[in-house]
Amino acid sequence: MADRHHHHARRAPTSDTLDASELTHAFEQLMRNKRFNRLQEHSRSRSRTQSPSPAYPMSPGQFPPPPSRAPPPPPTASQQPSSPSTPSCQSPALRGLPIVPAPPQDPSSLKFRNLLHVLSVTPTKYENPGLLDEALAHIPLDRLYSEAEEESQIMQAQAASVRGTPEWGYQDCVIRALLRLVDYSPMGPLATRRGRVGEWANCFSMFCRALGGRVRWVWNSEDYVWTEVYSEHQRRWVHVDACEGAWDQPRLYTEGWGRKLSYCIAFSIDGATDVTRRYVRSPIKHGAPRNRASEEVVHWVILEIRRKRRENLSKSDQKRLMKEDEREEKELRKYTASALAAELNNLFNGTSSAGRPDEVKTPASREEAAAEWLSARQRSSGQSGPDRSQDGR
């Protein structure tokens, strides 16, 4: 009896606050029940349209007599009653089904496919040995590696003090040091302190590639680009914006600048990935319409670019990249589930917003600098993005 009482007391809630993980589990269970009920209703409708079969076999004497005359012929197409046309099917995403890749058919989808294929060529230019040597010649390597080593040792000491692991590895510290030194490098637009955002992103991506990093060039359909660098230490892709000096701040454009984004496609020498979910955590608040092509077509084009970039790789490299794709897909799904659980938690608790899961990854000085820059930009010209040519950069 005491054990039973102790068991019930242990299961009793300790507070009135709702756990986001419990809300996520409840939402998933609700979606499973809705889908199961939908399938049951579909099977019932199919069984009603079919002619019922007798429950027991009939003897020859119980069969109905043959008709006295032949039945009338079936009506022709012109004689059939007209019925209002209905759509063939819903979008797979609306039905809770996985997206099945489909090749583009209409002119708009074909145009978007051609655009993505043209953009996918950009990272291949970073593999030019002559450009990589030129980039290394203009990077202050001694200063870069000195700062990276110092930061790496500080992180290791901080992690050892709490018996943990460093937040970033040495290669990550090298890219972070490059991000701090990029304004002093006299190459390309960095030499004149002028240039469009795309030129800055291209130069920085090439510098990262010259230092041995794995690089992505991220294209945004709202006319903005930035860089992603793969962290071997954290086994994930990290957002880097050389124009803003931003490191691992994927929410800068939506929650910081108030932009609405539709497509964010990351291109690398190994293929392409739709990373919109990393930068748009709340599609209702910060998502723009994705109407250039259907989701099935976008997925098909992404896979097409991957096959094209990886067809000449070894089996081991293809397997490694496939595992990275699966790991990244889990990460992007986690962002969606966490954002949805946070919204549900806000509705139940009456709070306005939830804390950012990646706040611990963003230095406070970076946040303050982004906020100051945003307020200054709104006071001066009211533009929605950075313009390096106006401030001599």
Q: Which amino acid is at 375?
A: S
pLDDT at 47: 59
Cα separation of 139 and 135, whole Å? 7
**Signed CA dihedral, 243, 327, 234, 206: sign only:** negative
pLDDT band at 388 (very low <50, low <70, confident <90, very high): very low
- pLDDT beyond 60 at 72: no
Higher pLDDT residue, 276 or 197?
Answer: 276
Q: Give the span between the Cα atoms of 249 and 362, in whole angstroms.
A: 6
Contacting residues for 139 by C-beta, under 8 A, at least 6 apart: 178, 181, 185, 207, 210, 211
Q: Tell me the pLDDT band of 88, cut-offs 50, 70 and 90.
A: very low
Q: What is the mean pLDDT of residues 374-389?
A: 48
pLDDT of residue 372: 54
Lowest-pLDDT choice from 19-28, 242-251, 292-301: 19-28
List the alpha helices (DSSP H) in 211-314: 276-279, 283-286, 295-310
Summarised one tens digit per residue, pLDDT across range 309-353 is 999 999 999 999 999 999 999 999 999 888 888 888 878 876 555
Integer Rg of the chain from CA: 29
In the prediction, which pLDDT does 61 show? 47
Residues in Cβ contact with 358 at an 8 Å cutoff, skipping those fewer than 6 apart: 248, 249, 250, 251
Residue 42: is its pLDDT beyond 60?
yes
Q: Which pLDDT score, from 0 to 100, does residue 256 have?
A: 93
- Strand, coil or helix: 384: coil
Give Cβ neighbours of residue 282 (< 8 Å, ≥ 6 apart): 254, 339, 343
**C-alpha to C-alpha distance for 240 and 266, rounded to whole angstroms:** 12
Spatial separation of the C-alpha atoms in residues 393 and 196, rounded to whole Å: 9
DSSP state string for 15-75: -SPPPHHHHHHHHHHHHHHHHHHHHHHHHHHHHHHSPPPPSSPPPGGGSPPPPSSPPPPPP
Q: Which residues, 6+ apart, have CB-to-CB distance to 349 below 8 Å?
A: 17, 18
Could you give all domains of the chain from N- to C-terminal order, each with its CATH number? 97-121+198-203+213-349 (3.10.620.30)
50-64, 110-124, 289-303, 368-382: least confident range: 50-64
Task: Identify the pLDDT of residue 313.
Answer: 96
Q: Write down the pTM of the prediction.
A: 0.68
Contacts of 77 (CB under 8 A, 6+ apart): none
**194 close to 200: Cβ distance less than 8 angstroms:** no
Residue 171 structure tokens: 């290669």
Determine what percent of the chain is predicted with pLDDT higher than 70.
65
In the prediction, which pLDDT does 31 show? 77
The pLDDT tens digits for 161-171 are 999 999 999 99
Q: Is the pLDDT of residue 60 over 60?
A: no
Q: What is the overall mean pLDDT for the chain?
A: 77
Is residue 58 predicted with pLDDT exceeding 60? no
190 pLDDT more than 80: no
- The enclosing H or E element of 264 equals strand 264-268
Q: Quick count: other Cβ atoms within 10 Å of Cβ 96?
A: 11
* 23: pLDDT strictly greater than 80: no
